[in-house]
Structure 1
Amino acid sequence: MQQLEPELKVALFDGNGKVLFSQSYLDYERGHRDLKIILPVYGRRLGEILIDETGSICFEDNKWKLAEIITLDPNIAAMNLLGKIAEAVIVRECAESIDTNKEFFQRARRTGTQMRTAARFHAVGTGLNSTKNRFPQRYNPSDPQRDIIWLDDDNIPALMYGASNRGAGIEAGLQIKVSTDGMRYILNDLLSRRYEVPLVYFPLYNDFERIVDALARKTVNDPITDEIRPINIGEDFIDVRALDYGVFDEVKSYLPLVLALINDEISPRDLVYEATHNPLLQNAVVSSVLQESPNTEPIIIH
């Protein structure tokens, strides 16, 4: 009998350790994540973001509705919504982790930052409902430059390193971009220096290096100093995976859920309720498993 090669899979386990669903680890990492695995694990958290922070899901006529204005291209609509979601995830993680806050904060300031300095400032999403409620004067969902800024306890914004020396008082901040095709949607923004703040990119289909290669030997006008210089990788253009891989992986997991919402494959109610009210999925967890054949017990590897 032919012996099958072991296969690495991602599996959803219930609270008793029983495998509910599984899929190829390679497909999972490439971004083709099975809704049956993603919905129970990430559905509630995504629902909270879409209701509380982006206002993308609302309760109307006694039912939950998707309030987003959907374009003719579902992928563009998904990327626009994921950009707002990524903003909310980064702000949340910066609030929960001083290390994460420092990583993003010092990139926004374009300089290394001591922990005690970073601890004085908290991340604020310019387009989030929490900002509208807490800092209405800083709420600006159509801000063309900064998706995230940092304020101290007196609501004074952090400045870019060296900005005060030039008398410009340029606020530190980050532009957040999420895409499955950065060569098409991100590259021109970088070459035109559309943003005066660093751009943090979520490469959902792992194309960060392709964009970096396309930027090689290119020069641009610095929007602050007006000097001709190259685009600095890690300063002007930043891979979010280098700052916090967990933030990247969470947003990547939302891609199939957002597409399913836009394409009416799942409803907002599914997102809000089904994942948390199904008794089989209580305390469910996702792990990577090594399975030698469909009939053998999987070995959990993390």
Structure 2
Amino acid sequence: MQDEPGTAAPARTELRLQADCAQCFGLCCVALPFSRSADFAIDKAAGTPCSNLRTDSRCGIHTELRQRGFNGCTVYDCFGAGQQVSQLTFGGADWRSGPPARARLLFEVFPVVRQLHELLWYLTSALDVPAARPIHAELRRELDRTEALTRKAPEELAELDVPAVRQDVNVLLLRTSELARAGLGRGKKKERRGADLMGARLKGADLRGANLRGAYLIAADLTGADLRDADLIGADLRDTDLTDADLTGALFLTQPQVNAAKGGPGTRLPASLTRPGHWTG
């Protein structure tokens, strides 16, 4: 489920880490659960097709998702896991055909591969950080190891210890962040890992090189803020106002995070990300 069309996708991110809904059997619309909320207009159980999913695996209200109360769908990104599982892991076998046990296994494997693809995206991003050159060899080895995991058989993927894989990757991502932010004047005021900044008034704030890993920035006002080289991995940017903010070189900022935020023509993003179509201006 992708957001409204924006600018063309960047060349840096490999196609395999970008969602290709035409090659997927609508897995995110079936495998994942969601509850009626500000992000979803209805309740849906895991393994149950969304009522908006058509028989051709396309969304029947794709162009009206936000107007119909499905903001959560426009934010979600599988990082290419949908086509990986549909076409490679399960060899093109649709969940609609075959025994129910296979469909259940497919729905179990999809979120596992999605997490692995997210880690691949982070590792690829880390290799684009010049300051992380001292650990590029380690990053490449971890990238190859994680990619190899995505090629395992469905039964093996279902049993995979993803938290352990994530822990190994995170060690390198932390080191990448430290190397990239070294010398940027990081002080206590910029160490805001996991901070509760919901609704915070940070207009024009100097957050360059800040550690905002896992910070709660829901509905925060970051208008005109300097977020260059800030570490934003896992930061919650739902309804965060990034109008005129500078996120050039922001570390580990993902497309779903950007899609969840608010912005405008003056918002400066890393070259690897696409400006959401729903942003004003």
Q: TM-score, normalised by structure 2?
A: 0.30
Larger radius of gyration: 1
Greater strand content: 1
Q: Say which structure, 1 or 2, has more relative contact order (CA 8 Å, 6+ apart).
A: 1
Q: TM-score, normalised by structure 1?
A: 0.29
